[in-house]
Structure 1
């Protein structure tokens, strides 16, 4: 029968106290480098690993971080998760990933499940359908560290990481204007998302700069983030059915961009509508019609959010000052 080696076994073999061995394995500053080396060399020799369950019970920590994103298959979120994991695993934390699929009820279930699993903190990007934030606010009020990224909750006093959505949207819209078009529609995400408002502001600023009047009929919101079948298709058809149809579309997200291209192939065979939008996928370089795109620093956003969360988790004192980091986007032209 397998019997794991314990700290007591190492202490006995090296004629040291269990507390000395424990501190040496943890890298404690109060233990000499010579003693640390003796302990670590012996632990490696016998393939010793610390019992994570015993460790978490002793320190009242699970050394796990919960992640909630709308969809792992979305390239932006998969890149952000890579960034999250690059920091978490180096700091000794495991990552538990869950998907909301942009559904409010699934987000509520996921965050409650993660809290019940005793994660030490949560990194979340809000679902498109979420309008009631009480499920997050209650856990935060109870002391669970929470960090937002990309789709953030402005009203909550905690760390947040996002990109310069307004500038990215401005760049994309101004590029379309530079191609000689003036009737520019905007395919947007759910109204209440932080990114939706920020990207619409950038779109409006570009129109204003070039003296192009804003037409509310040219803005279509996708309240389910494009996850509901036919949602994007319907929005594009409504735009193309307008008496004065748009000659370009600024699209607010990856999923919406793909849906927009599919709908245009169906309803706009003349291929005379230009598109620019947000996308982190390399596949966009192969798409027809071509899509010029705003890219967000997803990996870096995930990395910074994780550093922020671990700092909250490991802080010995209550944290009262919080930061919102806004990272620059880049614009890529596909002719």
Structure 2
């Protein structure tokens, strides 16, 4: 009689493998990033992100109809303005591109849950996420601008505010401003754990947000640090965050796991632009099976503890889930 355990009994065929599968990716878990630009007749494919486009408002209808048919009803809106200045004033202008996009979407597609990216880097002439003075990104003067941006997005109809700047105290400042303006019901998805990563390159093409000098290591986290991630998440929860983001996702599955084990708030993994671009490039060359790699990656986020996934693969994944 054999004394060893036969684990393969539960791998014998598709039926049993499906029955005992521990983690699943559902279309409801997916958030789709949407880039909006000023102008008309604009549908610009981002060269480093095949299949991802910048849209002017008059081109959004077809895209949103496709998302709706796929069952993807959660979107995050990123804006690309025509005008930039030192203070990033288009970020908090009542008629800024994100504010106009939110109004447009809510008027025509009220069933969508619209999350507003709340940052300054796309709107500043220097490309940094805050106020710059003598080459230094200042923390406290940046907070009032971020709060003004969040309030203007809520006024436009955003369902959720997602501040991504990594300034100290940004959640507290935004929570206070939202509450004072009567938006106590608007949740904050904090980019609580955002690393100074090399995986962001294609996004900076899409959002036209590359820093004009230096880098963002004075406010985004060192990729080598894990304990610091827990401090960041702890402080954001204390300041009023409702959900926590870990960005990037793929190289930081251990961080997602640590945050999940420590806190009960919903966790969002950002499957970032560089991760998307690498898969698309390798798949184009025939080096990988794109579907298998994407499915494996997204279920990896869920296995690590993520509740939701912000991903450029959302439409592909939704199509595969539909069979």
What is the TM-score normalised by the length of structure 1?
0.25
Bigger CA radius of gyration: 1
